[in-house]
Amino acid sequence: MTVEAPVSHLRENPYDIAREQLRRVADAFAIDSNLINVLSECKKSVVVSIPVGMDDGSVRVFEGYRVTHNIARGPSKGGIRYHQDVTLDEVKALAMWMTWKCALMNIPFGGAKGGVICDPKQLSELELQKLTRRYTSEIINEIGPERDIPAPDVGTTPRVMAWIFDTYSMNKGHSVLGVVTGKPLQLGGSLGREEATARGSLFCIREAVRKRSRRIEELRVAVQGFGNVGSFLAKFLAEDGAKVVAISDSRTALHNPNGIDVPAAFAHKQETGTLEGLRGAETITNEELLILDCDVLAPCALEQVITGENADQVKADIVCEGANGPLTPTADEILEDKGVLILPDVLANAGGVVVSYFEWVQGLQEYFWKEAEVNAKLNDIVVRAFNETWATRETRQTSMRVAAYGVAVQRVAEATTTRGLYP
């Protein structure tokens, strides 16, 4: 049987949003319209069929994608998403955002993204492994350490990366460490990779708070999403002295105005797989979490959770986009008008791709760094990108998002112009 895509949580087409953002930046920074015509499109989109023998003896056919947006500045880089709402246009948008993210961080990659329409929580480990290995086989000619380097994203883990690495290496006849990043440490993963996205968000929040002459210890923070990014961000902010007043996962949201015990939440989630039943906090909805009275709101789950419908109710002074595209353009305008400082996804969650770059470099050299070295280098790159974005925002009198995109798109446009059109 073939698996149909269910009704999506996406209210607007993400690819339309990504292209609209690009057009706005082109206008603001006077970028040549011919270049924008090139950058508005993805270089390559591959759609594959993934038949999988299920545990009950049936065969299900899943649909998968791998999209490369741009390779002007180097091989393409981007995660693989396993989610029931994955669409080709969503993957295209995420690939485009990856291009800007890599350019803003000034690392030598272009943008790519992959996805499979499935609910990984409903698959056994064996079914998940079969799906991953067949998907890898289907896209094997598209990926490689000099071509396109996948990484984990929503619904995928270091274990999944290990299966991709093994499948690719078995086909090549030797171990190819640089084919994926986000691998387990014993297979050439990098120290600091697991926490990297959250750590990058933390560095951005620290800089933003400093620019606003405030202290982390004064902040009340609400974090939506308790996966890889949200859980570590909540942990790091609590360790810095902030009061984490709300957290959530896909099933439940919790609120305590006096602060949630984040280490206890971490342990509870690891033990039970959910935040449900955690003591010391009242249950609210994910929608209510977004409009709580707090200083920093960090949406770290899925796209389009803050829209034109609820943006005017957001009370936070700073919104840090731990997820990709959690604000729609309408929400962006409403919050900007209210004076909310938005730390955009291409800046705020780029820590993951930066440490993925470090892992790729370490894999190619087969020489691995200490964790302190990884975190110090990550801090240097993220803080530099933050300051470049902030300076552009001040000079141009624009938003952080337009400034971040402006810096990134100009870099990609310059590389494209310098290389010229082939043939």
> Of the candidates 300, 322, 348, which is a domain's last residue?
348
**R_g of the chain computed on alpha carbons:** 21
**Domain annotation covers residue 34:** yes
Are 216 and 324 found together in one domain? yes
**Domain annotation covers residue 25:** yes
Are 122 and 59 found together in one domain? yes
Q: DSSP string of 264-332?
A: HHHHHHHHHSSSTT-SSSEEE-HHHHHTSS-SEEEE-SSS--B-TTTGGG---SEEE--SSS-B-HHHH
In this model, does residue 3 exceed pLDDT 80?
no
Summarize pLDDT for 149-185 with one digit per residue, the tens: 999 998 999 999 999 999 999 999 999 999 999 999 9
- pLDDT for the residue numbered 398: 94
- pLDDT for the residue numbered 28: 93
**Domain annotation covers residue 395:** no
Are 145 and 266 found together in one domain? no
- Mean pLDDT for the stretch of residues 241-253: 93
Are 165 and 221 found together in one domain? no
375 pLDDT band (50/70/90 cuts)? very high
The catalytic residues are 113
**Domain annotation covers residue 366:** no
How many structural domains is the chain composed of?
2
Mean pLDDT of the chain: 94
Are 162 and 200 found together in one domain? no
- pLDDT for the residue numbered 9: 61
Summarize pLDDT for 53-110 with one digit per residue, the tens: 999 999 999 999 999 999 999 999 999 999 999 999 999 999 999 999 999 999 999 9
5 pLDDT band (50/70/90 cuts)? very low
Are 203 and 280 found together in one domain? yes
Are 203 and 321 found together in one domain? yes
Helix, strand, coil percent content, the chain, rounded in steps of 5:
50, 15, 35
Would you say 123 and 76 are in contact if contact means Cβ atoms under 8 Å apart?
Answer: no
Domain with 280 in it = 196-348
**Domain annotation covers residue 403:** no
In this model, does residue 190 exceed pLDDT 80?
yes
In this model, does residue 2 exceed pLDDT 70?
no
Are 227 and 170 found together in one domain? no
Are 203 and 166 found together in one domain? no
Question: Domain containing 294 — which CATH number?
Answer: 3.40.50.720
- pLDDT for the residue numbered 60: 98
Are 112 and 221 found together in one domain? no
- Mean pLDDT for the stretch of residues 25-38: 94
- Mean pLDDT for the stretch of residues 15-19: 92
**Domain annotation covers residue 142:** yes
Among 316, 254, 258, 250, CA closest to 288: 254
Question: Domain containing 33 — which CATH number?
Answer: 3.40.50.10860
- Please count the residues of the chain: 423
The residue ranking higher by pLDDT, 21 or 58, is 58
Which tokens go with 285? 């909805």
Q: Choose the weakest-confidence range: 205-209, 273-277, 407-411.
A: 273-277
Give the helix ranges, DSSP H, for 144-285: 158-172, 196-211, 228-239, 262-272
Neighbours of 352 (CB within 10 A): 27
199 pLDDT band (50/70/90 cuts)? very high
CA distances for 246 relative to 238, 264, 276, 295, 296, angstroms: 12, 13, 13, 12, 11
> Of the candidates 142, 176, 210, which is a domain's last residue?
176
Give the helix ranges, DSSP H, for 75-148: 88-105, 125-138
Summarize pLDDT for 294-312 with one digit per residue, the tens: 999 999 988 889 999 999 9
Are 309 and 172 found together in one domain? no
CA distances for 59 relative to 3, 117, 134, 144, angstroms: 11, 15, 13, 29
- pLDDT for the residue numbered 324: 87
Are 201 and 339 found together in one domain? yes
Give the helix ranges, DSSP H, for 112-157: 125-138
Which tokens go with 242? 């902030």
> Of the candidates 304, 330, 348, which is a domain's last residue?
348
**Domain annotation covers residue 384:** no
In this model, does residue 135 exceed pLDDT 90?
yes
- Mean pLDDT for the stretch of residues 11-20: 88
- Mean pLDDT for the stretch of residues 362-369: 96
pLDDT over 90, % of the chain: 90
The residue ranking higher by pLDDT, 329 or 77, is 77
Among 269, 259, 233, 257, CA closest to 348: 233
Summarize pLDDT for 248-297 with one digit per residue, the tens: 998 899 999 999 999 999 999 999 989 998 988 999 998 999 999 999 99
**Domain annotation covers residue 56:** yes
